[in-house]
Amino acid sequence: MPILTLKFKDSNIGEYDIKEGQSLTIGRLDKNDIVIENLAVSGRHAKIDGMDDGYLITDLKSKNGSFVNDLQISSHWLENNDVIKIGKHILIFAYKEGEKHFESAASGTMDQTMVMDTAAHKDLLAKSVPDLDTAMKKKESIGILSFLSGGEGEIELTKKLIKIGKDSSSDIVVGGMMVGKTAATISKRPQGYHLSYVEGMSKPKVNNEAVKESVLLKEFDIIEIGSVKMEFILK
Amino acid sequence: MVVIESSGITDVGRKRKGNEDALFLDNDQKLYVVSDGMGGHKAGEVASEIVVETLRDYIKRFKKGNDVEELVDSDETLSKKANRLLSGIHLANKGVWKVSNSNESYSGMGATVSTVYFDDKTFISANVGDSPIFLVHNENIELISVPHTVLAEHEALNPEGAKSLGKEYAHMLTQAMGIGETVKPDIFETPCFKGDILVISSDGLTDMVSPEEIGDVVISERPEKACRSLVDLANDRGGKDNITVIVIKIKKITKKKGGLLGLISRIFN
């Protein structure tokens, strides 16, 4: 049974055992197993579950959050000597000598999933990504087709799947005898925009090469379908 | 219309005592879902089960013949079916969130969701969390889900800076079902081709088996055998987590032919 040592400003206030299969609640109200009387602590602040494969601390949507080794958590698998911070108090989680430790990050592989608090994530991003705003805008860039012939102006590729063809319900209507009802589609995927040939006797061309099935579009690629010629740009 | 051969299995693995993964295949509605649950005690199992059941029941409502009102609040960049899937995911998220708030023992529970839903000649893929969805096209395997992990999101914004992040961030999620009142799934619509193969799995598989190996197995074996082989491979290498995998193979894409010709071809198909 590991122990939780409650400390405040360097003095030990209490020690609590966590039994396997048990839950320990932590908070300001009397009914908690560990009562911390401090205004920075919520009535029901957090709990620690002793489970089959480890000890899990979960924040119970407290006002000021729960921290393990200075990292704000919503749920976290505890390791030997982890420092839990609740309000201004500290709880040190430690296995007794000779006791079996449940392996997790210590062994080098983090095989337990947890979710990072959004605010904490934003902080982390702000610290390690220089010029976060520009980077985020770049990530969300939208593709644009600029007409070179057969049409005028530009089309923003906002839809996830864009249909190009003779059919009047297509997003981009293209004329031509050999052009299919839906000649091609452009789909936005994590890797970028893909142009795919669907049907029709003539195949779409990208930089003068026929697209037999699917191709990832690069900026400034020239796309030809039937009567239309367009350039692919990223905004 | 897409003709599909599919199979899916889940395995507790070699180290865990319980299975917190859940999966669902509906060849009728052409909907496929994997969900990986997390949380104290039985909470993980409950979370993934809620996700799978909510999505399954919601999409079933749109079965041909049923009169269901279309959604008011839809995303214009997506097709009707994609909007449907998105609504289903939001509903499932609310479901898990409500239960997690109702009972202290469920507090903090959550789950990932990764799903594929077929439309006429396209498929819609959506995910929240880090359970991967792969597309094998022309013998190339590509990740088409977006991992919602701290490490992956850093890499997308700043590949250099991400290198200095600790390894624990590889599995730390930036969002999951049930953690908040709303979620922002990543959703894509892609045309399908004959011969394409889709793989949805929990990270219990991808932590032990590389994408290239997954590609090799699903290309050379039929879905049922491929699922078995992949689970065995993950277990042989340690089976540290629950392993779930769905393999979907596109056998044929039939065109809707109108008139007499269409009638004849439908009789003979």
Rank A9-23, B14-28, B32-46 by mean pLDDT and report only the highest.
B14-28
- Of these ranges, A69-78, A119-128, B26-35, B170-179, the one predicted with the greatest mean pLDDT is B26-35
Residue A109: pLDDT band with limits 50, 70, 90? very low
A169 vs B130, which has greater pLDDT? B130
Is B40 close to A113, i.e. CB distance below 8 A?
A: no
A116-137 tens-digit pLDDT: 767 667 777 777 777 777 777 7
- Give the per-residue pLDDT at A1: 81
Nearest CA in chain B to A158: B77
Q: Do B154 and A128 touch (CB under 8 A)?
A: yes
Nearest residue in B to A23, CA atom: B105
A27-57 per-position pLDDT tens digit: 999 999 999 999 999 999 999 988 777 888 8
Give the pLDDT score at B258.
54
Q: Write out chain B residues lying below 8 Å of A129, CB-based.
A: 154, 157-158, 161
Say what the pLDDT of residue B197 is.
Answer: 97
A129 vs B145: which has the higher pLDDT: B145
Beta bridge partners, B9, equal B245
The answer to whether the CB of B175 falls within 8 A of the CB of A158 is no
User: How far apart are the CA of A99 and the nearest CA of chain B, in angstroms?
Assistant: 19
Question: Structure tokens of A90?
Answer: 């500290």
Please, which residues have CB within 8 angstroms of residue A57's CB and are 6 or more apart in sequence? Answer: A46, A47, A48, A66, A68, A73, A75, A76, A78, A84, A93
pLDDT confidence bin for B40, thresholds 50/70/90: low
What's the mean pLDDT in A189-201?
A: 89
**What radius of gyration do chain A's Cα atoms show?**
29
Please report the pLDDT score of residue B269 as a whole number: 53
Q: What is the pLDDT of residue A105?
A: 39
DSSP three-state, residue B169 = helix
The number of beta carbons lying within 10 Å of the beta carbon of residue A138 is: 12
d(CA B196, CA B118): 13
Considering chain A, what percentage of its residues have pLDDT values greater than 90?
39
Does A214 reach chain B within 8 Å, measured CB to CB?
A: yes
In this predicted model, what pLDDT tens digit does every residue of B79-129 receive, in sequence order?
Answer: 889 999 999 999 999 999 999 989 878 888 899 999 999 998 899 999 999
**Smallest CA–CA separation between A96 and chain B, in Å?**
22
Q: Considering only alpha carbons, which residue of chain A is nearest residue B119?
A: A161
CB atoms within 10 A of CB B28: 9
**pLDDT of the residue at B223:** 97
- Provide the pLDDT confidence category of residue A213 given band limits of 50, 70 and 90: confident
pLDDT band at A110 (very low <50, low <70, confident <90, very high): very low
Taking an 8 Å cut-off on Cβ atoms, the answer to whether A129 and B161 are in contact is yes
Residue B9 has a pLDDT of 97
Which tokens is A70 given?
Answer: 């200075």
Give which of A123, A157, A36, A17 is closest to B154, Cα–Cα: A123
**Residue A7, min C-alpha distance to chain B (Å):** 25
Is residue A111 pLDDT above 70, yes or no? no
- Residue A78, both tokens: 């505890």
Question: Quick check: A113 pLDDT over 70?
Answer: no
Most confident of A82-96, A129-143, B67-81: A82-96
- Report ipTM (2 d.p.): 0.72
Closest-CA distance, B162 to chain A, in angstroms, reads: 8
* Amino acid letter, B55: L
Tell me the β-bridge partners of A154.
Answer: A146
The DSSP string of A8-37 is ETTEEEEEEE--TT-EEEEESSTTSSEE--
> Is residue B47 predicted with pLDDT exceeding 90?
yes
Mutation target among A113, A196, A203, A216 for the B interface, most CBs of B within 10 A:
A113
User: According to the model, what pLDDT value does residue B97 have?
Assistant: 94
What pLDDT, on a 0 to 100 scale, did the predictor assign at position B68? Answer: 62
Per DSSP, the three-state class of B216 is helix
Would you call A198 and B121 a contact, using CB atoms and an 8 Å cutoff?
yes
A120 reaches B (C-beta below 8 A): no
Q: Which residues of B104-119 are buried (b: 16+ CB within 10 A; e: fewer)?
A: ebbbbbbbbbbbbbbb
Are residues B173 and A124, on separate chains, in Cβ contact within 8 Å? no
Q: Name the residue facing A214 among B137, B144, B156 (closest C-beta).
A: B137
Rounded average pLDDT over A212-233: 92
Q: How confident is the model at residue A107 (pLDDT cuts 50, 70, 90)?
A: very low
